[in-house]
Amino acid sequence: MKKHEKDTKQEILNIAEELILTKGYTNFSYKDISETIGIRRASIHHHYPTKEDLGSAFVQKYQIQFKIWCDLTKDKSPKEKFEEFLELYKLLSNNFQKACPIGMLITEYIVLPQKLQIEIKNFFSTIVSWLSDVLEEGKKQKEFKSEINPIVFANIIVILLSGTLKTALVFEDCCHCNSIFEEVKNMIISK
């Protein structure tokens, strides 16, 4: 693929990401992208034959970023990993100015194409599994409270963080969101 084609493909994905985060997957079309970039819809179809392919590329982008992030934090303590995980959500949301990317797709889950549903489910499971492992390790090292059930709390935390980012958009209140993130820490971390 030529550099120009690669740049166009990335630009299409970037615009699609912004549209998913602001309108949702079901509320944008290739026409929106073509008007924003100033290219023909056929050019978009050249890079992403279907909207499902584009949605899949969106999820895969975050899967890759999460894997890279996990690799960067692998040698840290469970507490450091957990605290950086919370910071990752803040970063993804541009300090509570945007919704969680995967959370936006989960909102529309039942109307998404099956391939995209499977990718979202797998990615969500990857995040929960990683967090569960961190919580289990932290319990063993006595960094986290002994009474937590790692798999249950991993699910609760991911759902809570995603929901917090969505409500931040409604209430436009970063302090409220920061206090929720602090309470999540208090639920898990041993004093």
- Per-10-residue mean pLDDT of the chain, 191 residues long, equals 74 94 91 95 95 95 94 97 92 73 87 94 95 97 96 94 78 74 92 77
CB 51 within 8 Å of CB 57: no
Residue 3: the pLDDT is: 58
Residue 21: the pLDDT is: 85
Residue 173: the pLDDT is: 65
The residues, any chain, with a CB within 8 Å of residue 30's CB and separated by 6 or more, are 41, 44, 45, 51
User: The whole model's pTM is what?
Assistant: 0.89
Residue 89: the pLDDT is: 84
Distances (CA, A) of 175 to 89, 95, 180: 15, 10, 9
Tell me, rounded to whole angstroms, the distance of Cα 119 from its chain centroid.
12
Residue 101: the pLDDT is: 82
Residue 4: the pLDDT is: 62
Residue 91: the pLDDT is: 82
Output phi, psi for 144, to 5 deg.
Answer: -115, 160
**Nearest to 174, CA basis, from 186, 187, 165, 183:** 165
The residues, any chain, with a CB within 8 Å of residue 160's CB and separated by 6 or more, are 180, 184
**Nearest to 116, CA basis, from 105, 127, 124:** 105
Residue type at 55?
G
Residue 96: the pLDDT is: 66
Residue 164: the pLDDT is: 80
